[in-house]
Each structure stands twice: as C-alpha cells, then as structure tokens.
Amino acid sequence: MKKELLLASALVSTMGFASVANAVTATMSGMHATGLQGDDSDEAAAGTIARDSTSDFTVSLAETTDGGVGIATSFMLANESGALHTAGLTLTFTDGSKLDVVNAGNAAASHDISVPGAAGSPGVSVTTTNLAQTGLDFFGEAGDVSFEWHSASDFMADGLKIGASMSFDDGVAAAGSAALESSWGLGATYVTSAGDTALTIGAGVADSEWKDNASTIDGSNGFHIGFSAVTGDLTVAAGYANGDKILADGEEAIYDNTVSSVGVKYVTGDVTLSAGFESAEGDDGTFAAAGGSDDAQDATSFGISYAVASGVTANLGWKNIDAKNEGASDATGGNSWYLGATMSF
C-alpha cells in the first residue's frame, strides 16, 4: 500500500498537478458567428448567397506581484476572421496606468471613436485597384519592437485619459515591398456630461517612417477626431480622419485620404437598432507620387440585433457601397445583407 501511495504521488508530480498552485490566473473567452451573406455586386450578372462563419478563441494570462504590479498577456488558439494574434506583455501599475511592451499597438488607434453601423457582417467587394482607405484608424502602424503607455483615468483633469506609443526598426530588410522602420502615436479620450447626455471625445495623431530597397518613400501619417453622445438608450457618434497611407504589400501609397463617418444606435429592450454612413476618398499612386483622380467609397449600413439569450445574439444587417476608381464608377460595390447569430463566452 505504501509503495502504491508513493507511486501515485510521483505520478501526480510528473503530470504537473503539484505546481498548479503556483500558476498564473488563466481565463478563456471566444465567440462563434455563423449565418448567410447575400451579395448583389454591381459588376456581377446575378447575386450570390453563401455561408459566412467566424470563430475566435483566446486565452488570457494574468498575475499580480507582491508590489501590486499586474502582469498580463494573451494568445489566440483560433481566429478564423483573420491572422492569429499573440499579445506582448501588459504591466498595470498601482496608480492605474498601463504599459504595453513587445507587439504593442499605436496610441492614435487606441483612442478612436466607435461609430455604429450594420449588424453582423454584410459586405460587398470593390475592385482591388480602388485603394480608398476606410475606418478612422486607417493609419497608425506599429511593429513588434514597440511600447504603448496608457495613463490612468482622470489624468491631469477629470475624465481625461491619454496614451503614447513608439515603434522601432526590427532589422528586417525591405525586399519587393515596403517595410515599417519606425512610428509614433499620441491619443486622448475625454469623458464628460451635458445634462442627461454622456459625451465622449476621442482624438489621435500618428506618423511612421518606411523603408524600401528601390524607391523613395513618404511616411504614413494622419489624425482623427470624433465624438459619441449617449442619452438614455440613444447613441449618436461621428468621426473624421485625414492622412497618408503606405501599403506594405506593394509599391503603392494613398495620399490625402479622408474618412467621414456618422452613425446612430437605439436600444429598446432586447433589440438594438443601428445605422451608419461612411465616406472615404483618397489619391492613390506609386511611392512619393500621387496618381490622378481620387478613389472613393461611400457605404450606407443598417442593422437589427436581438438578444436571444445570455451570450446569444441574432443579427440582421444590410450594407450598400457606391465606389469610384480614378474618379469614375468602377462598376463594383453594390448591396449585401447578412442574417445569422453570434454566440459568445
């Protein structure tokens, strides 16, 4: 019997259970969205209907030192909606500030305003030569050798939070396409109230240097500003961004790109109604040389979301894109709808 107990103890120790008490705290989160997406492209003879599914599964690790400093990171086991992401380290200090090191983000992108739009994932493609950039954070790159500092809330003033980031050259040579050399970003978010309305203002500015073996490259740069106003169940948001964008996958850039976005969201019980409009326009060309007329994309979207149960949401979305390439209609864009559900944990 004594030998059996010794054997059992050795087995448990070998399997690692004896060290569980010293492990960091791990939590898991994820989602799976599945549904149907219908596309009616302006360039296609007939519309199409296809399955649209995405899945994410993330493990987050965190622990706190005896001095009260939090240390956290995370990694994805699955991400069908894009490339897998492995976070760097996040240090949380006793004053509430944070520091992201290794594979950090850009502070400008961290402070952009979220503008309501469609529900689910309706989408219709435009021609690949249409390079008008959408989204308020189309600029603001960061590499692996980087850090981002986040202030605590109420930094120097009630409701103010700021951030700063820098990215450095990782030594990888540029080949047939451009490579990021260095970047910096600044961002700020201010939260206040006006009567019954909660008002959030976000702004950011960023700049980056690029390298290429064969061409002279101007850097990416830009700024964005936006606001979100919440009164009861109603949210109204708008934003504007302007800047230049280097495209790392080819000898191309887009200059003086502007994005204007406005959206509204209303929650009534378990139902959320949303609508949005975004207009993007920019002049594309080779490095250091703008093209001719602007590329443009105007997108209008609507959405209805229904909370079926805890963690389960049914989504119905619609989106229309009107596109122009070099100042003329490029016969792409069109309408798209989505009907599906998302389950999150």
DSSP string, 140-205: ----SSEEEEEPPSSSSSTTEEEEEEEE----PPP-SS-EEEEEEEEEEEEEEEETTEEEEEEEEE
DSSP string, 270-332: TEEEEEEEEEEEEEEESTT---SSPEEEEEEEEEEEEEEETTEEEEEEEEEEEEEETTEEEEE
250 assigned to some structural domain? yes
336 assigned to some structural domain? yes
48 assigned to some structural domain? yes
pTM, full prediction: 0.84
310 assigned to some structural domain? yes
Q: Could you report the per-residue pLDDT of 6-52, keeping only the tens digit for each?
A: 333 443 343 444 444 568 999 999 999 999 999 887 666 667 888 98
Do 191 and 199 contact (CB within 8 A), yes or no? yes
131 assigned to some structural domain? yes
Do 65 and 72 contact (CB within 8 A), yes or no? no
19 assigned to some structural domain? no
17 assigned to some structural domain? no
Residue 198: which CATH number? 2.40.160.10
DSSP classification of residue 118: -
164 is in which domain, residue-wise?
Answer: 36-344
Q: Could you report the per-residue pLDDT of 127-173, keeping only the tens digit for each?
A: 677 888 999 999 999 988 999 999 999 999 999 999 999 999 888 77
Q: How many folded domains does the chain comprise?
A: 1
3-class secondary-structure state, position 125:
coil
Tokens read off for 316: 């119905």
18 assigned to some structural domain? no
